[in-house]
Amino acid sequence: MKIDISQVKNTAIARKSDIKIKELNTLDINKLNASINSNSFSFKTNKEQDYNVFFRLDKDNIGVKLSENNINRLKEFFNEDNFIDTNKGIILDKDAASYVVGWFADTAYTRNYLAADKDNDGEITALEAWNLFDLVNVNYELLQDKNKEYFLKATNIDETYDSNRIAHSIEGKSDLSEALDIIIDMDKDLDGKVTAGEYWNVEDKDYINEFGIVYDDENHSFMSIPHKKIKFNIAEEELKRLKEQIKLNNIIAKLKKSQSLDNNEKEILQKFNIQNISNELKISEDKLKDLISSDKLGDFIDFTKEFKKDLSDTRLIDIKV
């Protein structure tokens, strides 16, 4: 299904923490080198303890594993004096350190990766993923284009993290290093925030053809900042319900123009809360069904004048993704 993202493309769905790192002194560098040589750090950020990027956050020495692509992007973006080479990777200093530490803090603390790793083994299992805060809400409405094809239009994004109650949003296992590497990779311009456009990797496009929608047990849906890129299917029952509302709106539009209804449209109208409609109009269900089935359109329009106005003013339900 086509999805119009033009309205939300430039909305931020994730932001790095605002942390300023002071320039490393000789003592700081010596402490980092000691941790690098002994492979002993304040936190395990992957199970293998295989790290190639190092920095200090407050009094903690931290090692992470970033992809070579992201390391090269950082080196191209920040000044050369922001990097100190070691035999096992690079130490980050100054602006480069502030940038990576900002995303590290967002991943470790805001998104809760450190606390979620209950056994401190450097690995986030699917069960531990229930304790992550990886989800932001995207609101949608279902519409029809000029060819009567259905499409979803993203209307706005709530810029807050929600608790991840969808354990299967991680296929297999993940870790803090991987989550950090993914979010840095998404930050295409290295400005410290990830927009919906960067998340979907759409560049100048206003539509996308495939979209991951994850539903929780309360029938809300979410867009997850992924640990890995995962494809989900939209819930068919939710689409069916929204399509019925579109059809009802089309029927009401025909009635307003005094156009006759076909048999399919009459059936839809009869099935759509016929009891509620009859109560609203203060006529019996049998009388309402008779008006519809006998195609007494003039009488029906008289009876439904106020009801049609209420329905036509009703907005489509938002889906949260």
Q: Are residues 206 and 141 in the same domain?
A: yes
User: Which of residues 184, 216, 233 is at a domain's end?
Assistant: 233
Judged by DSSP in three states, 169 sits in helix
CA–chain centroid gap for 70, Å, is 23
Q: In the predicted model, is pLDDT for residue 319 greater than 50?
A: no
Q: Are residues 270 and 202 in the same domain?
A: no
Q: Are residues 291 and 216 in the same domain?
A: no
pLDDT of res. 170:
53
Q: Are residues 45 and 99 in the same domain?
A: yes
d(CA 177, CA 179): 6
Q: Are residues 88 and 143 in the same domain?
A: yes
pLDDT of res. 34:
96
pLDDT of res. 173:
73
Q: Are residues 155 and 302 in the same domain?
A: no
Of the pLDDT bands very low, low, confident and very high (cuts 50, 70, 90), residue 265 is: confident
Q: Are residues 288 and 140 in the same domain?
A: no
Q: What residues contact 263, with CB distance under 8 A and at least 6 apart? A: none
pLDDT tens sequence across 31-47: 999 999 999 999 999 99
Full domain range(s) for residue 242? 236-320
pLDDT tens sequence across 206-253: 877 654 444 333 333 445 655 433 333 455 666 666 677 677 677 666
Q: Are residues 86 and 57 in the same domain?
A: yes
Q: Higher model confidence: residue 160 or residue 174? A: 174
Q: Are residues 245 and 167 in the same domain?
A: no
Dihedral over Cα of 86, 92, 93, 96: its sign: positive
User: Which of residues 201, 233, 265 is at a domain's end?
Assistant: 233
Most confident of 56-65, 126-135, 312-321: 56-65
pLDDT of res. 84:
97
Number of domains in the chain: 2
Q: In the predicted model, is pLDDT for residue 98 greater than 80?
A: yes
pLDDT tens sequence across 38-73: 999 999 999 999 999 999 999 999 999 999 999 999
pLDDT of res. 231:
35
Q: In the predicted model, is pLDDT for residue 273 greater than 80?
A: no
pLDDT of res. 101:
97
Name the pTM for this structure. 0.70
pLDDT tens sequence across 103-115: 999 999 999 999 9
pLDDT of res. 131:
87
Q: Are residues 221 and 158 in the same domain?
A: yes
Q: Are residues 133 and 228 in the same domain?
A: yes
CA–chain centroid gap for 203, Å, is 17
Mean pLDDT of 90-106: 97
Vertex 181 angle, CA 179 and 183, to 5°: 70
The answer to whether 304 and 287 are in contact (CB under 8 A) is no
Q: In the predicted model, is pLDDT for residue 263 greater than 70?
A: yes
Q: Are residues 156 and 29 in the same domain?
A: yes
- Please, what is the average pLDDT of the chain? 77
pLDDT of res. 209:
66
User: Which of residues 209, 233, 257 is at a domain's end?
Assistant: 233
Burial 85-109 (b: 16+ CB within 10 A, else e): eeebbbbbbbbbbbbbbbbbbbbbe
Q: In the predicted model, is pLDDT for residue 300 greater than 70?
A: no
